[in-house]
Amino acid sequence: MIKYLALFLMVLLNLNLSAQENNTDTNYNVADSEQNIQDIGFNKKDLETEIQKIASKDKDSVKIISITPNSNLVKGDIYTFSIIAVYNLATKDQAQLQIGFNNGLDPNAYRMISEASKIVDSKTGYHIFKVKARAVNWKETGRDFNAYVNISEYPHSSRYIPLSSNSMPIKTD
């Protein structure tokens, strides 16, 4: 019984830390403009190429194509990440994009940042997430610190299976 109580408290503490460690940067305008893309070191032509690639698939899909910063992060420090995700919505009229990181207690579990979710109704497009998260180093487990994006049916229940997902490693020291 004590073992289960301790596990419950760890999960509860983990959920509480999640709200403090991963959040949106409310001072950022996520308008999908060419200037925003260039500000994070990506160019419009490469973005258009990535959108064309994902649009050629006849299925729901999402892919992270850029993360800034993406290397030499210090474990425990909080960073503001700019993440570009492209998507293709083939089976639904509307969907929800969500972003998260595996920076909790388990390297195989992702903490989603609900405040940063984006409802999309176009069939193909992209979104720039600008979110804060604490960097972790999972080298001792053989795993990477990752950003994770998914696209899911909208609306959906609190328990759902994404239509598609993708992750990208972020290098930590």
Structure tokens at 48: 């258009």
Nearest partner of 128 among 136, 141, 118, judged by Cα: 118
Distance from C-alpha of 141 to C-alpha of 156, rounded to nearest angstrom: 33
Of 117, 123, 119, residue with least CA distance to 148:
117
Per-residue pLDDT of the chain (173 residues; tens, 9 = 90+): 444 444 433 433 343 343 335 654 433 333 455 667 777 778 889 999 999 999 988 899 999 999 999 999 999 999 999 999 999 999 999 999 999 999 999 999 999 998 999 999 889 999 999 999 999 999 999 999 999 999 999 999 989 999 999 999 999 98
Q: Do residues 130 and 107 lie in contact, with contact meaning Cβ atoms separated by under 8 Å?
A: no
Domain coordinates in residue numbering, the chain: 2-170
Report in angstroms the alpha-carbon separations of 167 from 39, 65, 85, 146: 22, 10, 10, 6
pTM for this structure?
A: 0.80
Give the tokens for residue 36.
């925003």
